[in-house]
Structure 1
């Protein structure tokens, strides 16, 4: 099995892609590329058995309805409801709220934060996959699944905050140590030093590991009630099993 992890950013310079080759009870990091353009990402996703992409796959349905209503005339604001309350319904997706309730980790708002730029790029990538005949299901049932590396790390009991950017290389190194200690089946090989220098590279590896969990059915799935919304808004797959068990399949 080949899983791919994509730590997506609005531009190639902060985008990383990792390929993991799973066999013989373990996983070897085949390649990690930092500075990935759209063509490289699409080719990686086309060749994956399962891929985890760190980016919202859609916008909150209520936000889309709100913007559409505003475009066509005037919106209807809920009466006697505080602005912060009704705006919150436009800001976070159903899956974002589930992640907060489950892990305490709050995803960025795709409708109110700069990650919206990244989501636009992601939408174009998913469209290209569909054009090439690869199944795209925003709820995660196709080749790609939406992941959130910080939340995955928290589910596995590893360092999930404070490892981003060059000023925190010490914490990033600690995270890589934890990852290798807990996932003794993981072989970073010659890519270990890159992961210690680049949080983007490490997040891509974590995304690829989460994709493995998704392929094995060891992640959260939307309820029957949540499923229709997940198919339009996207769904963040949270690992439900121990990290140490993923190497055994």
Structure 2
């Protein structure tokens, strides 16, 4: 069975969103398109346009937190200004998946409870809601590789690169084109990239979207690390990364 996959490098500014389209099957993953967002063609509309011409199940792989730390949520329910908060900042502002990725991969994702990534998370959830409206279809999170309908997962390109042993130093820098080309070549040895990746000379957004497709590829093969506490992951979200 062929599964449509969409990689989305989320951002609060549509111009900084990268997205990539592909397909997954028993023969592997093929990248069919990659683009950057704009104010003229918003990412949600571009993705909806592509999906409207496709049949079969679809998996969205999104580089953004899709949930918030449960301890923070519980601490704020009855909190009043000036009151103390029980627990350390790391305990309150980081999710279990953030701690897990740090322990297993050695990469520290940004704290959705404290960093600017919270705005990206909000934008990602808005994008999901826009897609639900445009496509008139429900979108729920996937927890197993057997995908039906339209599902989404949270991914983290930097951790995916580490899990695959891909050297990525400097690939996000404005002048990091050589590093980006090196990363793209390595990713292309794992999934087939049949199209050019835009703006490689100046930014990594579209490349990150392609790496999201690699993370989706790992998820659909069932070669990823899942949560031990499913109930907590359902509340906070979970970053899907290849076993290593």
TM over 0.5: yes
Aligned to 1:170: 178
Equivalent runs, 1:1-249 vs 2, <5 Å = 1-22=3-24, 25-35=27-37, 37=42, 38-42=44-48, 49-71=58-80, 75=83, 77-78=85-86, 86-129=88-131, 132-137=136-141, 143-180=151-188, 182-183=189-190, 186-192=191-197, 194-195=199-200, 198-223=203-228, 226-240=229-243
Taking the aligned partners of 2:183 and 2:233, their CA distance within structure 1 comes to: 31
What is the RMSD computed on CA atoms of the aligned residues? Answer: 2.7
Cα displacement string for residues 226-246 of structure 1 (whole angstroms, at most 9, x for unaligned residues) = 2111111110001127xxxxx
Provide closer, same or farther for how the CA distance between residues 63 and 205 of structure 1 changes in structure 2, counting only shifts above 3 A. Answer: same
Q: Per residue, is there more helix in 1 or in 2?
A: 1
Q: Structure 2, unaligned stretches of length 5 or more?
A: none
**Count of aligned pairs between the two proteins:** 229
Give the structure-2-normalised TM-score: 0.82
Conservation of the 8 A alpha-carbon contact between 2:94 and 2:111: yes
Q: Structure 1, unaligned stretches of length 5 or more?
A: 79-84, 242-249
Instruction: Decide which moves more: 36-45 or 93-102.
Output: 36-45
Taking the aligned partners of 2:30 and 2:200, their CA distance within structure 1 comes to: 14
Instruction: Decide which moves more: 114-123 or 23-32.
Output: 23-32
Alpha-carbon offset, residue 92 of structure 1 = 0.5
Cα displacement string for residues 135-189 of structure 1 (whole angstroms, at most 9, x for unaligned residues) = 4127577710000000001000002342103222221122122223x32xx3323
